[in-house]
Every structure is written in structure tokens, then in C-alpha cells.
Amino acid sequence: MEGTAASRMMASAGALAGLKVIDLSRVLGGPFCTMILADHGADVIKLEPPQGDETRDWGPPFREEDGKRTASYFIGVNRNKRSVGLDLTEPGGRAVLFSLLEGADVLVENFKPGTMERWGLGYITDLAPRFPRLVHCRISGFGADGPLGRMPGYDAILQAMTGLMSVNGDATTGPLRLGTPAVDLATGLFSAVGILMALIERTRSGRGQFLDMTLYDCGMALLHPQAANFFLNGRRPMPLGNPHPNIAPYDKFPTRTCEIFLGIGNDAQFAKLAAGIGRPELATDPRFHSNAARVENRSALTAALAAAFAPEDGHALAARLLKAGLPVGPVLAVDEATAAPHTVHRDMVTSLGDYRGLGTPIKLSRTPGGTRRPPPGFAEHTAEVLAAHGFSAADIEALREQRAVPTRRK
């Protein structure tokens, strides 16, 4: 192919071109979901309340522009969207939403369950009858019913309540929060998958449907292999730190220059590792001849490997073993990982003007996605979007006077 991968991505309209998404979500799970759709061509119209998406203030660091500042947290999950300020507590704001939903394929929101219904925007009673093809995705902490129904939820709280925190860390730390907001991000991913499933089903039935997505369910769905182990042996999984509960060696090791992480999944790989580090006898040692034996004798194996790795240049060792077909790599910091040659080759850092962000991991051959517009300023596209939906300049000014479409954050 001619040209760079980045230029090919920009040249594509995207696999979801023509899809119209109304995004009422804030913070992370919903915006991450809609950015996935926007990266691949969907027209995502982000409707922000008068105070804006609160993550605009979740800094430092901030980007300063025209006397306004926007936090990196917001910037990281809101590219390729257009922003409209909209106050749904005002009748005029709700009327605007109904206009924007004409011809829309997807609505994503993460209000507390019951909020949309109180505004006369419930899926069953208000939206489905008027927009029968609409796919409505609601993201909430726990759902609308059950013992925890309608309770608020944030990522770390759900990490704690779903057991994820209990298997992270080690005996010295106790339960430990994952460094990335895994529950929010997974909920965004699962929501994007669910939306696409509903859109595919719509091609057969002609009807939209409601997606009830919760942080609780998505956090529980991440408990592999710990839940599978518990269901089989009945023993409570404990935090092991870096080691894997079912595989050995699968751990972090120090070397002369850096730390490396090694993950050996079968006996053939272990024999190749033993030969590659000049310790072929480890592969025939009865304590290490099978994965089950290596797990049982994890401490002795770790000590033997640590001694072999200690004098090595970790980067050179990892490169040599990786080329031999073994899963091993240096432990890199974020700045090192984002600057790595393979990161550049895979277009996993994207830029447009002064915007920089992580690229899309979904690589399609004919309709690749990519960065088309930077994250929007608050209400940056209000006039543009409303005009495209039939509102005159006088209509828009009247809505502003009614405070239905704010142009500045409260």
C-alpha cells in the first residue's frame, strides 16, 4: 500500500459512516464507548449539561486555549465528537433532544436510572413509540432494580465490590485498586459491542431495543480466571501480585538493566526458555517438567530464573527471547511505551494539530478508523448541529435566551 497508515486512516469514512449517535453520557464508560464508535465514522453528537462533562475539570494537567482550560481526562476519550450544550431540565432542551433523535440510530446515556423517565424521556413509554428503530444504551452503576438498584457507582467502588480489587496486589499490600479504571473502560467496550449487536439485529427485525449496561455486571465479567478457579475448587482466590494463579513462570524478574516480564504458557516454551538462558537442565528437573509441577514449585523456579536473569541486559535478553518465539518483554513506563518503535508503527499514538492521544486498536483493512477532529470545546458545535436539524438562527437565539442551549459552562 502507498502512504502511511495514518494517512490511509484519515482517507477512510470509517466502517460506521452514516451512523448517528446521540451521546448524553459523561465521565468515562459512556464517552469511551462513543469514542470507539466515532473513531470508526459514526457522527457522535455529545450533548453536555450546563455544567459540562465534569471530567473537563479533572486535572491537572490541563490544555489552555482561548482563556479556557480542559483536563487531559476529558481530552483522552472525546475526540471525533461534536459538542452541543443542552439543559434537559428545561422544556426547550427536551424539545431539542426530540428533534436531534429524528433519524438517530443510537442514544447513549448514563443518568441515574429513573432520571430520563422523570423527564418524559423513558425508553418504553416515550422514546420507543416515537423512534422505533432507536437503540438506547443506558450505562449505570447497578441497574434500575435489585438490592443495589439505582445506587451510584464509580470505577474504584465497583473494583472493590466485584472482587477485582481482592485479587490485585499481594500479601503485603492487601486488596489494591487497578491502576487503570478497568471497570469503566470495560463497560465502554462491552457497551460498544452491545450497540453493534443491536444494530445488526435491527437489520433483521427493523426494531431498536434497550441495552441495560452496568458497571457491576461488567466488573464481574472481568473476574477470569479467578472466578473459574473458585467455581471449580471452592477456594477463595488470593492476591498473588505479578504471578499468575494457573501458570508458571508468569512473573516479573529483575535484570542488570531493567525488569522484564515473562509468561510461559506450555512445556515446549519452557524447554526453549531453559535452553535460551543456558540452563537446559531446568526443563528436565522433575520439579519443573510440567506446568502443574512448576506451579507447585513456583518459589524454587522463581529463584532459579532470577539468578539466571540477574547479570543480563534486560532489553537485549527480552529482544533475544522474543525473537526466539517466547513471550517476554521489558517493563516499560508510560513515556517509554508510547515512544516505542512498535507503538509508532501500529499508529497507537495519534495526533491532529496540538492534540495527541492513543490511537484506535481496531484495525480494519478497507475502512480503517482514526482521528478526524480533536475533542470539542464545550458547546462548540451547538449552532452547527441545530442548524443542520432545521433550527433557524432566530430559533437558536430563542433557545439560548430560554437557557435550553447554554453556550458557556456554569
Asked, for residue 231, whether it belongs to a domain, the answer is no
Asked, for residue 241, whether it belongs to a domain, the answer is no
Rounded Cα gap, residues 82 and 79, in angstroms = 9
Query: Residue 266 in contact with residue 326, Cβ under 8 Å?
Result: no
Same domain (yes/no): 125, 270 = no
Among 256, 278, 360, 318, CA closest to 9: 360
Question: 23, 105, 184, 347: which is the annotated catalytic residue?
Answer: 184
Q: Count Cα atoms within 13 angstroms, Cβ side, for 387.
A: 7
Report the pLDDT value the prediction gives residue 68, as an integer from 0 to 100.
86
Rounded Cα gap, residues 29 and 185, in angstroms = 6
Q: Is the pLDDT of residue 3 over 90?
A: no
Rounded Cα gap, residues 243 and 150, in angstroms = 37
Asked, for residue 237, whether it belongs to a domain, the answer is no
Same domain (yes/no): 130, 86 = yes
> How high is the mean pLDDT of the chain?
95
Rounded Cα gap, residues 121 and 240, in angstroms = 47
Asked, for residue 244, whether it belongs to a domain, the answer is no
Same domain (yes/no): 77, 157 = yes
Same domain (yes/no): 296, 382 = no
CATH number at residue 302: 3.30.1540.10
Rounded Cα gap, residues 46 and 57, in angstroms = 17
Same domain (yes/no): 320, 359 = no
pLDDT in tens, 319-346: 999 999 999 999 999 999 999 999 999 9
Query: Residue 370 is part of which domain span?
Result: 5-222+345-401
pLDDT in tens, 253-287: 999 999 999 999 999 999 999 999 999 999 999 99
pLDDT band at 11 (very low <50, low <70, confident <90, very high): low
H or E stretch at 192: helix 182-205
Q: Of 305, 330, 355, which closes a domain? A: 330
Using CA atoms, how far residue 356 sits from 335, 369, 373, 374, in Å, is 13, 16, 11, 9
pLDDT in tens, 141-195: 999 999 999 999 999 999 999 999 999 999 999 999 999 999 999 999 999 999 9
pLDDT band at 1 (very low <50, low <70, confident <90, very high): very low
Tell me the pTM: 0.94
Rounded Cα gap, residues 52 and 400, in angstroms = 16
Per-residue burial over 32-47, b if 16 or more Cβ lie within 10 Å, else e, is bbbbbbbbbbbbbbbb
Other Cβ atoms within 10 Å of 242 Cβ, number: 12
23: β partners: 46, 108
Same domain (yes/no): 72, 145 = yes
Rounded Cα gap, residues 84 and 388, in angstroms = 13
CATH number at residue 370: 3.40.50.10540
Asked, for residue 295, whether it belongs to a domain, the answer is yes
What DSSP state is assigned to residue 286?
A: T
Asked, for residue 408, whether it belongs to a domain, the answer is no
Q: Is the pLDDT of residue 6 over 50?
A: no
Q: Of 296, 330, 364, which closes a domain? A: 330
Q: What average pLDDT does range 287-305 have in this prediction?
A: 97
Placement of cell 515512544 in the chain? 339
Same domain (yes/no): 32, 136 = yes
Domains held by the chain: number: 2
DSSP string, 67-130: TEEEEHHHHTT-TTEEEEE--TTSHHHHHHHHHHHTT--EEEE-PPTTHHHHTT--IIIIIHHH
Q: Is the pLDDT of residue 12 over 90?
A: no
Report the pLDDT value the prediction gives residue 47, as an integer from 0 to 100.
98
pLDDT in tens, 351-406: 999 999 999 999 999 999 999 999 999 999 999 999 999 999 999 999 999 999 99
Asked, for residue 383, whether it belongs to a domain, the answer is yes
Report the pLDDT value the prediction gives residue 67, as an integer from 0 to 100.
78
Query: Residue 375 in contact with residue 74, Cβ under 8 Å?
Result: yes
Q: Is the pLDDT of residue 2 over 90?
A: no
DSSP E strand stretches across 255-388: 259-263, 328-330, 349-352, 355-358
Report the pLDDT value the prediction gives residue 7, as an integer from 0 to 100.
40
Same domain (yes/no): 183, 264 = no
Same domain (yes/no): 164, 37 = yes
pLDDT in tens, 115-130: 999 999 999 999 999 9
Same domain (yes/no): 138, 196 = yes
Report the pLDDT value the prediction gives residue 10, as an integer from 0 to 100.
54
Asked, for residue 13, whether it belongs to a domain, the answer is yes
Active site residue 170: no
Q: What average pLDDT does range 215-222 have in this prediction?
A: 98
Q: Of 270, 303, 330, which closes a domain? A: 330
Percentage of the chain beyond pLDDT 70 is 97
pLDDT in tens, 71-85: 999 999 999 999 999
